[in-house]
Amino acid sequence: MTLKIKGLEVGIEDRKIIDGFSLTVKKGEVHVLMGRNGSGKSTLALALMGHPKYRILKGTVFLDGKSIIKLSTDKRSSMGLFLAFQNPTEVPGVSLSNFLRTSYNSASKRKVSVFEFQSLLKARMKEMGINEEFMKRGVNEGFSGGERKLSELLQLSILKPKVAILDEIDSGLDMDSLKVASKIINAMKKETGILIITHYKRVLEHIKPDFVHILDGGRIVKSGDVRIVGQLEKKGYRWFSEDGDRHAKA
């Protein structure tokens, strides 16, 4: 259960956004990726998931030793890769419960019945404090920003992927929802490799990351433990990019 990214380059149209990105995420590890706005965090996440707009120009991505670069998004997700989107979109007309059951059945070997799945979902929603009404509504239809994030987390906790990439999962969450989010993430830590993209320290008070990485110029310019975040708050991203420049010149 390892995601191994090496020398990755990703382009959008004719711009190269990710340029020499390498990272290995193993089961049981929590990695945090930080970086200024527009540094390419979401681009990385979407390219890993196989979004057609984000073209992989160079490098390798292996999930459990198997190259996934040429595989469809569906295939990647059935292999256990999961992305919680920064901006989850609406899928009107498809109820959340149907959507989740379809994903669940395609990801797991055992098919569950509608009835069985409903009770699984109900129990999980109750734990998360999500209103049952959500099940009947279209996916993310009329959901607030925070509710969309919770629905992504609900997917995460139902699908139990091998590797989960959570793009700004904490943005727009109130204190109570943040606690719910942290609880879900902490509960799946042992069985999953987790990559959290965030701007905020507060989520890291609930989820203790093993590694923190700073993205700048399309690659990781600094890695360390959670203490990096403290330095970041004091000095800002400038400090890291100057540091990165020094490394590049050295």
CA distances from 133 to 61, 96, 181 (A): 39, 10, 20
Location of structure tokens 């292999």: 79
Which one, 41 or 213, has the nearer CB to Mg ion? 41
Min CB(173)–ligand ADP separation in Å: 18
Alpha-carbon span 48 to 40, nearest angstrom: 12
The upper half-sphere exposure of residue 81, i.e. CA atoms within 13 Å in the direction of its Cβ, equals 26
42 binds ligand ADP (CB under 6 A): yes
- Interacting span for ligand ADP (CB under 6 A) from 41-49, 72-80, 100-108, 174-182: 41-49
As beta bridge partners, residue 95 has 138
59 binds ligand ADP (CB under 6 A): no
Alpha-carbon span 147 to 197, nearest angstrom: 18
Select the binding partner of residue 188 from ligand ADP, Mg ion, none (C-beta < 5 to 8 A, by kind): none
Which one, 38 or 93, has the nearer CB to ligand ADP? 38
Which one, 121 or 212, has the nearer CB to ligand ADP? 212
Alpha-carbon span 139 to 150, nearest angstrom: 12
What residues numbered 70-99 form the site for Mg ion, per CB under 5 A? 86
42 binds Mg ion (CB under 5 A): yes
| Beta carbons of 203 and 33 less than 8 angstroms apart | no
Alpha-carbon span 52 to 46, nearest angstrom: 9
37 binds ligand ADP (CB under 6 A): yes
Min CB(9)–ligand ADP separation in Å: 13
Site string for ligand ADP, 80-109 (x = CB under 6 A): ------------------------------
Backbone angles phi, psi at 248, to 5 degrees: -65, -35
- Interacting span for ligand ADP (CB under 6 A) from 39-47, 65-73, 198-206, 240-248: 39-47
Structure tokens that stand for 92 in this block: 């009107």
Q: Pairing between strand 219-224 and 211-216?
A: antiparallel
Alpha-carbon span 168 to 56, nearest angstrom: 22
Which one, 55 or 124, has the nearer CB to Mg ion? 55
Which one, 12 or 107, has the nearer CB to ligand ADP? 12
53 binds ligand ADP (CB under 6 A): yes
40 binds ligand ADP (CB under 6 A): yes
Alpha-carbon span 130 to 201, nearest angstrom: 25
Residue number of the CB atom closest to Mg ion: 42
Binding site for Mg ion (CB under 5 A): 41-42, 86
